[in-house]
Structures are given as structure tokens and as C-alpha cells.
Structure 1
Amino acid sequence: MSESGVVPGTLDTMRWLWTPAWIARHVAMVVLVVGFLGLGWWQISRATAGNSLSWGYAVEWPVFAGFVVYVWWREVKLARRRAQGDAVADSAEVPAVEPAPADAAGSRPAVRRPVRVARVPAAAAGAEDADLAAYNRYLSWLNANPGARPGDYPG
């Protein structure tokens, strides 16, 4: 048994799949799959009764059910990777591993933290653009004369 009380290779390692949020996801997946397969069966019964358009829907509903299973399975895999990543990050005895080269066959690019770039002003504070100064004077005049129209500007 490990220090956390979780025995590797047992269902204890999958305990995170039984949180209330995950139970809701499991129930939603089962309800959607059963509902979509039921709708597919209903379309088959309509198609055999003579509605030829229902043959397309009879194929479409099971495809929707398969898509729901695919999305659910992918979310489980992603959550498992996150849980394993958190466990590795929390473990003090895990040695640092150098990342694999990005050009290795079958490797995925690493997701890195965003880079912050310091913004440098385009012009020095003392040097002012003539067009900018004229525009600022125009705005000051509009602010001082709230009822004036732009065509009334004397500048």
C-alpha cells in the first residue's frame, strides 16, 4: 500500500471518476446514448412501415450515440492524464525528466506558458506628433463646447 492509501492497479486509482460532477457526466452519457439508440430504433420502425426518409435518420441517430460515447471517453482520458500529472507533480521522489525533442516521430508539441512582452512606447514623451496634438486640441474644443457640431470647429 502506498502512503496515500491507494493501491496501484485497483479501482482506488480511479476514485476521481466518482465525484458528483463525473457521476452527472456518466448519467448524461448513458441517457443520451440510450435516447439516441431508441430514436434510431423508432426511425427503423418508421422506415419499414414505408417512410423512406427514415432510413437516413435510422443511420444518423446511432452515429450521434457513437459521438457521445467518443466525447465521454476523450474527457475521461484527459481527466486521467491531468490526475496523473498532478500526482507526478506532487511526488517529491520523481526525478526531473528532460522533454523529448519536438521533431521526434509521434511526439506532441509541449504547451508552454504564455510569454509576456513589455510594451515600449513608440515615441519619447517629449516628442509629440503634430497630428495627434491637433486631434487632442479638437477633442478639447468639443469637450468645452458640448452643443457644437464638428463643422463649427474654428481650427
Structure 2
Amino acid sequence: MKRLWSPAWIVRHVAMVVLVGAFLGLGWWQLSRAAGGNAISWGYAVEWPVFAGFVVFVWWREVRHALRDPAGPSDDPAAAADPRPAGDSPAAATRPAVRRPVRVTRTAAPVPGGEDADLAAYNRYLRWLNDNPGARPGDYPG
């Protein structure tokens, strides 16, 4: 529980309370306008408490996530840059491994018997798009 009283978490707690109070206040204000005859305010009178509920949901999910993490967030940069592999810590056995995606380049195998000119041009275009992942289709020089 001590993790939830760090300066960053105190800011999150205060922001949650302020947002929920503001959203519920705006909902009450819209409810009073709706009762006064403003028909569109009925929708807003429902919408603002939904926003408040969403803020509470996100805050509660973050609290649960912080309490579930056995290591907890660390303000120590040396601990964040720990060079040990994930398998060396006992907590690594309980957490699922997060791996970086592997980029696989595939090129089309030549078709025996040749291709027609339009199909060959289209395949060159697709190969160029595959070789230049950050490029847009409009950047194609061909």
C-alpha cells in the first residue's frame, strides 16, 4: 500500500477526486436545466455521471495493477536499467513474457513460365512497399 502514496499516485488520487466531483456537479447542473424545460439537457444529465464512472473505473484498474505488480514502480533509475535477464528474478515465473515482434521479410518466388507485365509491375510495387515499411503508397517511384 505504500506504493499508492508516492507523489505520482497522490496526484492521480487528487485528479480522480477532482474529476469525479466536477463531472457529478456538471451532471447535477444539467439535471436542473433539464427539469427547467431544456430537453437536450436530459442526455447530458446522463452523460456526465457516465464520465465520472469511467474515471473511477480507470483509477481502480490502475490501483489494482500497481498492487498486483510485485516489484512496483521504482523511482531509482539504476533499478529500471537492471541488465539481468527476465528469467533471473523469481517474479518472472509468475508474469507472462512480453516479447518484441519479429519482422519477417518475404519475397515472392518466381513463377515458372513467366508473368504478364501488369502482374510483374504490381509485384514490384508490393515488394517496394514491403521493403519500405514507413513509406506511403503515393511515395512509390515507379
Given the two structures, how large is their TM-score scaled by the length of structure 2? 0.54
TM-superposition CA deviations, 1:112-137 (whole Å, max 9, x none): 333668x9xxxxxxxxxxxxxxxxxx
TM-superposition CA deviations, 1:25-76 (whole Å, max 9, x none): 0000000000000000000000010001000000000000000000000111
Identical aligned residues as a percent: 63
Given the two structures, how large is their TM-score scaled by the length of structure 1? 0.50
Structure 1 stretches of at least 4 aligned residues deviating more than 6 Å after TM superposition = none
Aligned ranges 1:1-150 → 2 under 5 Å: 14-82=1-69, 84=70, 86=71, 110-114=96-100
> How far apart are residue 80 of structure 1 and its match?
1.2
Identify if the C-alpha distance between structure 1 residues 74 and 98 changes in structure 2 by more than 3 Å, giving closer, same or farther.
Answer: closer
C-alpha separation in 2, matches of 1:98 and 1:75: 19
3-state DSSP class of the match of 1:65?
Answer: helix
> How far apart are residue 95 of structure 1 and its match?
9.8
Q: Which runs of 5+ in 1 are unaligned?
A: 1-13, 100-109, 120-155
Provide the aligned C-alpha RMSD in A: 3.0
Q: Which runs of 5+ in 2 are unaligned?
A: 73-85, 106-142
